[in-house]
Amino acid sequence: MFCADTLRRNLSPMGIYDRDYYRTDGSRFARSMDTTPGGLGLGRLTMWSVNTWIIAINVAVFVIGKIIASIAHVDYFSEYGNFNTLDAFLRVEVWRFITFQFLHANLSHILFNMIGLYFFGPMVERYLGSRRYLAYYLICGISGAGMYFVLNFLGLLVAITLGPGVLHALPFLLYDPKVGMGVHTPLIGASAGVFGVLMAGAYIAPKATVMLLFPPIPMKLRTLAYALVGIAFFVVLTQGRNAGGQAAHIGGAIAGYFFIRHPGPLRDFLADFTRSPGKAKKTSYTRRPGGSAFSGKKVDDETVDRILSKVATHGLHSLTKAEKRILQKA
């Protein structure tokens, strides 16, 4: 089984006052990322934030799933919630693009994923706002499944059209029935989303320092993020251990890299995803500080993007109260 493992052997945060964003010579967010309720500090998990709910749901699903499996001797959650090419695409069970993100194989699998969310999720949520953060996290997970699907399905097509022998020359294609890797092979785990969150953290606070568990050495967050993505590429290209999970990591990281820099489309993702067919889109109205009211998605997205750009350049402390309210509602 492919499990989207993540951040193993990687995260043990330094003291908060040792981090770069508390120094005067450091990163883009130096002197601005505090741990007050409006701050952007690492590891600050506000009660019942979206990030808290994501962690809580993952833990609840894991515990309840294990209890049911021990009683029924069948892991129903994994059976009907994992992502695999056969069910998700060929049988059009599209819910699997979401549900696989909340399933984990064992305690260590969920532990390291939740550690990643705990340390980096709050910072990204405060940067994007709660609604955008939820959309961002889910999209990164969906993109992870998409990357896994593309490589798996291409492998199937190559095997059918050119013969299975060709696959040996293309090890990055995730299809090899001889070793049990086929269209039915399941993918589970939160780490595609976690990799997206990690890429966002690397963009927001690239020079923030984390301490590796093994070996115990300090490393810049940006270096850690790109190193993990590099490892994922190497494993996929050589069809190493957990290549399917690493493919999901790559998909999540690519989506994260893009959407943290272009967050505008995130605002309406959940509305578009849940809107009933034929139901019109609501128009939102916002007022620029000191300006007049305006309406429409395009202008509203531009306003939020402008505020995020201001945070990236001058820090959170540079925002007016009105701008902070707009960001919180985004």
The pLDDT of residue 307: 78
pLDDT per residue as tens digits for the range 140-196: 999 999 999 999 999 999 999 998 888 888 888 988 877 778 899 999 999 999 999
Pairing between strand 209-211 and 218-220? Answer: antiparallel
More confident residue, 225 or 299: 225
Share of the chain above pLDDT 90, in %: 53
Collapsing DSSP to helix, strand or coil, 228 comes out as: helix
Per-range mean pLDDT, top range of 29-33, 83-87, 211-215: 83-87
Judgement on whether residues 32 and 132 belong to the same structural domain of the protein? yes
Domain count along the chain? 2
pLDDT per residue as tens digits for the range 278-323: 555 554 444 444 443 334 444 466 787 777 777 767 766 778 878 7
Cβ–Cβ < 8 Å for 193, 138: yes
The pLDDT of residue 19: 31
pLDDT per residue as tens digits for the range 120-142: 999 999 999 999 999 999 999 99
Assess if residue 279 is contained within a domain.
no
Judgement on whether residues 217 and 302 belong to the same structural domain of the protein? no
Examine the pLDDT at 251 and tell me if it is beyond 80: yes
Judgement on whether residues 114 and 202 belong to the same structural domain of the protein? yes
Pairing between strand 2-3 and 187-188? Answer: parallel
Assess if residue 55 is contained within a domain.
yes
Query: How sure is the predictor about 26, in pLDDT bands with cuts at 50, 70 and 90?
Result: very low
The DSSP secondary structure of 78-95, one letter per residue, reads HHHHSB-HIIIIIS--TT
Judgement on whether residues 121 and 157 belong to the same structural domain of the protein? yes
Give the CA angle between residues 247, 248, 252 to the nearest 5°: 120
The pLDDT of residue 276: 52
Question: What does the pLDDT average to over 249-274?
Answer: 87
Judgement on whether residues 222 and 123 belong to the same structural domain of the protein? yes
Amino acid at 161: T
> Look-up: residue for tokens 């269209």?
183
Q: Is the peptide bond before 37 cis (omega within 30 degrees of 0)?
A: no
> Which residues lie below 8 Å from residue 158, measured CB to CB, with a gap of 6+?
166, 167, 170, 173, 175
Assess if residue 200 is contained within a domain.
yes
The pLDDT of residue 1: 39
Assess if residue 183 is contained within a domain.
yes
Q: CB 291: neighbour CB atoms within 10 A?
A: 10
Residue 227 lies in domain:
2-274
Q: Which of 274, 300, 315 is the last residue of a domain?
A: 274
pTM: 0.74
Examine the pLDDT at 111 and tell me if it is beyond 50: yes
Assess if residue 280 is contained within a domain.
no
